[in-house]
Amino acid sequence: MRLLLAIPLALAVIPVPRLDDVPGQSRPGPIFEGAALVRPEGYHAWPIVGASLGLSYAETPQGSGPGSFHRVYVNPSSYEAFGRTGTFPDGTIFVLELYAAHEKAAPAKAGYFEGPRVGLEASVKDRRRFPSGWGYFGFENGARATATAFPEERCHSCHLAHAARDSVFVQFYPTLRDR
Amino acid sequence: MRLLLAIPLALAVIPVPRLDDVPGQSRPGPIFEGAALVRPEGYHAWPIVGASLGLSYAETPQGSGPGSFHRVYVNPSSYEAFGRTGTFPDGTIFVLELYAAHEKAAPAKAGYFEGPRVGLEASVKDRRRFPSGWGYFGFENGARATATAFPEERCHSCHLAHAARDSVFVQFYPTLRDR
């Protein structure tokens, strides 16, 4: 009888795969070491919310090229929560990858595709950590294992002023904009 | 004792969430009705393998604009299998979404982001259905609920000649190219 009682207890601790438990994604959301965000991993399996080319906030053009591709990913459970509630929960992490724009490799005769990666950044919503609700981080294209948040005025003031929803540029991201 | 034996059997049929069982993704891979592929759904939660702008295979430029953004998604279990084996299993489905390129919405001063969606296509690997191994499908930007495969010469001959691996343009897709 004691054995029979023990079996339901054992069942209760069988790990059930979570939405975020996808291969290669050992860290399903933001991981902090003190004030530093650990470089995100496994996000290639996450949904992207938008892609863009050469978006620049500078008043003056930056060279004559097309600029870089941006890919913006979001952790799966926050993607799901946004679809259900229209808001981003604490623990949301967006990952921004930048890729050089390469062009005209056969059979393409025109246009741009993603060459080597040239940047890796992230933003995290955590209202306990960040007065504005969001922290922004740069990983020097993956060279940094951890990063502390940029000063508020470097990123958040513009996000707050121009981003369509909760400091996120939903207006540029069809996957969120059209939900 | 019979009860004790029954419990392991019951455990064996507890449904364990599969990799493809993510919210909004009721169809985790290609679904056929006869020879017709059912319009894929839920793929916004799938990994993308690449994004590009204005890639064109036409010898002559198509107008003066930047062309369209392409996003290419792959079903999660085939993404995982490719990472493990370097090949695409039967049942692999790539979804291609095309988005109009919009530009210069505040706060951006330059560059292009994804405007409205303007196309929805798919390719499926199934060596029993398709002599070449792959079928290619167009859904008229989602207006078609099902689609039959294009003739071989329309898509596959070029994929076969130019795509880097197994008729897939891995060379344009960093998520696969760099694995």
| Domain boundaries defined on chain A | 17-177
Measured CA distances, A22 to A3, A45, A75, A158, B80 (Å): 34, 7, 11, 33, 9
On whether the CB atoms of residues A64 and B114 are closer than 8 A, the answer is: no
Please, which pLDDT band fits residue A27 given cuts at 50, 70 and 90?
A: very low
- Best residue in B74, B77, B114 to probe A by mutation, most A CBs within 10 Å? B114
pLDDT of amino acid A63: 64
Tell me: ipTM over 0.95: no
CB contact under 8 A, A108 and B56: yes
Q: What is the DSSP letter of B148?
A: P
pLDDT of amino acid A57: 66
How do residues B75-114 score in pLDDT, each as one tens digit? 999 999 999 999 999 999 999 999 999 987 777 778 899 9
Please, which pLDDT band fits residue B18 given cuts at 50, 70 and 90?
A: very low
CATH superfamily of A17-177: Cytochrome P460 (3.50.70.20)
Give the ranges where chain A is alpha helix by DSSP (H). Answer: 2-12, 76-85, 152-162, 174-177
Strand order in the sheet with B32-33: B32-33, B36-38, B146-147
**In whole numbers, what is the pLDDT of chain B averaged over residues?**
83
CB contact under 8 A, A162 and B57: no
Within 8 A of A101 by CB-CB distance, chain B residues are: 53
Within 8 A of B52 by CB-CB distance, chain A residues are: 111-114
CATH number assigned to the domain with residue range B2-177, chosen from the 4 options 3.40.50.20, 3.50.70.20, 3.30.565.10, 3.40.50.720: 3.50.70.20
Question: What does residue B13 show for φ and ψ, rounded to 5 degrees?
Answer: -105, 5
List CB contacts of B54: < 8 A, sequence separation 6 or more: A110, A111, A112, B65, B66, B67, B68, B101
Q: Select from B23, B110, B114 the Cβ nearest to the Cβ of A50.
A: B114
Report the alpha-carbon distance of residue A37 to residue A135 in Å, rounded: 9
- pTM score of the predicted model: 0.81
Within 8 A of A109 by CB-CB distance, chain B residues are: 56-59
Largest Cα–Cα distance of chain B, in whole Å? 78
- Find, among A51, A55, A24, A172, the residue nearest to B50 by Cα: A51
Within 8 A of A61 by CB-CB distance, chain B residues are: 110
CB contact under 8 A, B51 and A55: no
On whether the CB atoms of residues A78 and A62 are closer than 8 A, the answer is: no
CB contact under 8 A, A58 and B110: yes
Q: What is the DSSP letter of A115?
A: E
